[in-house]
Structure 1
């Protein structure tokens, strides 16, 4: 059962359009598309709530932090999904001006990582004493009511870029996806993206003593339908139809 829920959540996550009129609008699939489906599906009426949260952060050796948090929430009777963004950038509070951080290594290759369908995670480091984390959490629950909407941050309707002396963070909703890209001056870069048929977490570290995190959480709430005699009979009829002829 957990495997089916995992497949359901992944399919929902990578297919949510950023500016869709409604994520619950059903679409007819061709026979060719149906032949490629794997796992379990749910009808739109069973989805009470769907959302995801992405957090990307980069802390360098001098305590400077670059980062952003993006959330998407979709519930029944909503005209379109709600996207919100907040910045995590900060400077050390000791009053000492940070110095320049130097690149200690180089990384080559990896261009194909952006073309992977489905879920892709990568961490490549050329420096020393770095800590990096890519993590995806899937939460599938049953309930007849949706959770309260998250109001953290500001509405995300266009690209947002925030910078400090350590580098820059850009959040971009485009091409049926949303991404958080961090450029750390002299230390590397990280990209986290969801949508357009993929979930990507990619980190490149060129310096030393950095702490980099890409965290994503997908939340699905399904309506809790209790089994009835009619639904059980319908299931049995479907199973009978799968029996070989003559048995």
Structure 2
């Protein structure tokens, strides 16, 4: 090391005692600063249950209904995650308004969106359409009681179909995701729901009159509460208590 570098190091070393006591002393964080950190991370083992419920319903002007529901629940007892599918159809007692004559154009880019994409396009009168995404996070330590693991098992790459006077429904598992599609009869329109690959998509296209369509995707997360006698938690608390005694 040359003379210039040696002199620089010696000067720094000589000046260190003058400010070391203030520069290297721990500073207590304010509550406002701590608030920016809380709630952003989940410790391993905190999530004890995760579930998805997807449902679609299409009801035409005559009261004909086609419905599909798919649900999956994962917890400590789950061996292989599986979707269970129900399809349901019923005939109405009303009189339809004839084949749909509306035309919906454009919208080609709606199928390539990232994140959550929702669309409702209608070329008819008196229609009602809903796209809904719900997220439920609870810490009571129990899986949602309203999720029933029953129905036809949806295999990877497979399709579960259903039909009624209202239309046809197809629930499929493709490319690691779930898709639920309804094609209404009598040219009344269609609906589509997809989840997977970090994306959620919901779309409704109506070309007839007086139809009712409802799409719903619900994500349920259950987190376990850390007990007061958790050894790892107690160890961390003891360390914090030691710092408090020193004024930190």
- TM-score greater than 0.5 by the shorter chain: yes
**Matches of 1:90 and 1:72 in 2, distance apart?**
25
Could you tell me the TM-score, scaled by structure 1's length?
A: 0.71
**Matches of 1:145 and 1:167 in 2, distance apart?**
37
Aligned residue in 1 for 2:172 = 172
Aligned residue in 2 for 1:189 = 190
**Matches of 2:240 and 2:119 in 1, distance apart?**
43
**Matches of 1:222 and 1:48 in 2, distance apart?**
6
- Say which SS state the counterpart of residue 134 (structure 1) adopts: strand
Give how far 1:154 is off: 2.2
Say if 2:205 is the partner of 1:207. no
Aligned residue in 1 for 2:135 = 138
Give how far 1:143 is off: 2.8
**Matches of 1:196 and 1:55 in 2, distance apart?**
19
Larger radius of gyration: 2
* Residue segments in structure 1 that go unaligned for 5+ positions in a row: 1-38, 237-247
Aligned residue in 1 for 2:235 = 230
- Say which SS state the counterpart of residue 207 (structure 1) adopts: coil
* Residue segments in structure 2 that go unaligned for 5+ positions in a row: 1-38, 242-248
**Matches of 1:156 and 1:105 in 2, distance apart?**
34
Equivalent pairs counted in the alignment come to: 195
Deviations 1:4-30 (A, max 9, x none): xxxxxxxxxxxxxxxxxxxxxxxxxxx
Could you tell me the TM-score, scaled by structure 2's length?
A: 0.71
Cα distance, 1:165–1:77 mapped onto 2, change above 3 Å: closer
Give how far 1:197 is off: 1.6
Contact 1:47/1:76 (8 A) holds in 2: no
Contact 1:144/1:222 (8 A) holds in 2: yes
